[in-house]
Chain A
Amino acid sequence: MDITEYIQLVFTDYTLRTITLGTAILGAVCGMLGSFAVLRKQSLLGDAISHAALPGIAIAFLITGAKDTNTLLVGALVSGLIGTFWIRGIITKTHLKSDTALGLILSLFFGFGMLLLTFIQKQPNANQAGLDKYLFGQAATLVESDVWLMAIVASICLIVLLFFWKEFKILLFDADYTKTLGFNTKTIDILITSFIVLAIVLGLQTVGVVLMSAMLLAPAAAARQWTNSLAKMVFLAAVFGAFSGVFGTAISASQNNLSTGPVIVLVAGVFVVFSFIFSPSRGLLFKQIRFIKNRRDLQLHKTLAFMHNIAETHEDISHPHAIRLLNNFQGYTKSTLQKLVDKNYVELNGNMWSLTKTGFKTAANLYTKQSIEDE
Chain B
Amino acid sequence: MKQKTAVKIDDLTVAYNYKPVLWDIDLEIPEGVLMAIVGPNGAGKSTLIKAILGILKPIAGSVTIYGKPYEKQRQLVAYVPQKGSVDWDFPTTALDVVKMGTYGSLGWIKRPGQKEKKAALEALEKVGMLPFKNRQISQLSGGQQQRVFLARALVQNASIYFMDEPFQGVDATTEIAIINILKELRKAGKTVIVVHHDLQTVPEYFDWVTFLNVKKIATGPVKDIFNDDNLTKTYGINYKVSIQE
- Interfacial residues, chain A to chain B (CB-CB below 8 A): 39, 41, 163-167, 169-170, 172-174, 176-183, 224, 227-230, 232-233, 375
Contact = CB atoms under 8 A, between A and B. Distances in A.
A228 B107 CA distance: 25
A85 B71 CA distance: 29
Contacts of B79: 176-177, 180
B232 to A, nearest CB: 33
Given A180-B77, A180-B79, A229-B96, 11 more contacts: A39-B87, A166-B103, A166-B111, A167-B109, A172-B90, A174-B85, A176-B55, A177-B86, A181-B103, A181-B104, A229-B92
B57 to A, nearest CB: 11
A182 B104 contact: yes
A230 B90 CA distance: 8
B108 A167 contact: yes
B236 interface: no
A167 to B, nearest CB: 7
Interface of B: 50, 53-55, 71, 74, 77, 79, 81, 85-87, 90-93, 96-97, 100, 103-104, 106-112, 136, 141, 143, 171, 173
B174 to A, nearest CB: 9
Contacts of A229: 91-93, 96
B87 A173 contact: yes
A180 B92 contact: no
Contacts of B106: 166
A205 to B, nearest CB: 31
B92 A174 contact: no
16 contacts: A39-B91, A164-B109, A166-B110, A166-B111, A167-B103, A167-B108, A173-B87, A176-B85, A177-B86, A179-B53, A182-B107, A183-B108, A224-B91, A228-B91, A229-B92, A229-B96
A170 B101 CA distance: 10
Nearest to B100: A170
Given A179-B55, A375-B141, A173 B90 contact: yes
Given A166-B106, A173-B86, A183-B108, A228 B100 contact: no
A228 B136 contact: yes
B18 to A, nearest CB: 13
Contacts of A39: 87, 90-91
A180 B156 CA distance: 12
Interface of chain A, helix or strand or loop or mixed? helix
B91 A182 contact: no
Query: Which among A163, A167, A177, A229 has the greatest number of chain B C-beta atoms within 10 A?
Result: A177
Contacts of A41: 87
Contact of A228 (B81, B93, B171): B93
Contacts of B91: 39, 224, 227-230, 232-233
Contacts of B110: 166
B64 to A, nearest CB: 16
Contacts of B107: 182
A163 B107 CA distance: 12
Nearest to A40: B87
Contact of B86 (A169, A174, A179, A232): A174
B103 A170 contact: yes
Contacts of A164: 108-109
Give 8 nearest A-B pairs by CB, closest first.
A181-B104, A228-B136, A180-B79, A180-B53, A174-B86, A182-B74, A230-B91, A228-B91
A230 B97 CA distance: 12
Contacts of B86: 173-174, 177
B115 to A, nearest CB: 15
Nearest to B107: A182
B54 A173 contact: no
Contact of A174 (B100, B136, B141): B100
A331 B79 CA distance: 50
Contacts of A166: 103, 106, 109-112
Contacts of A224: 91
Contacts of B104: 180-183
Contacts of B136: 228
Nearest to B101: A181
B90 A180 contact: no
A232 B96 CA distance: 13
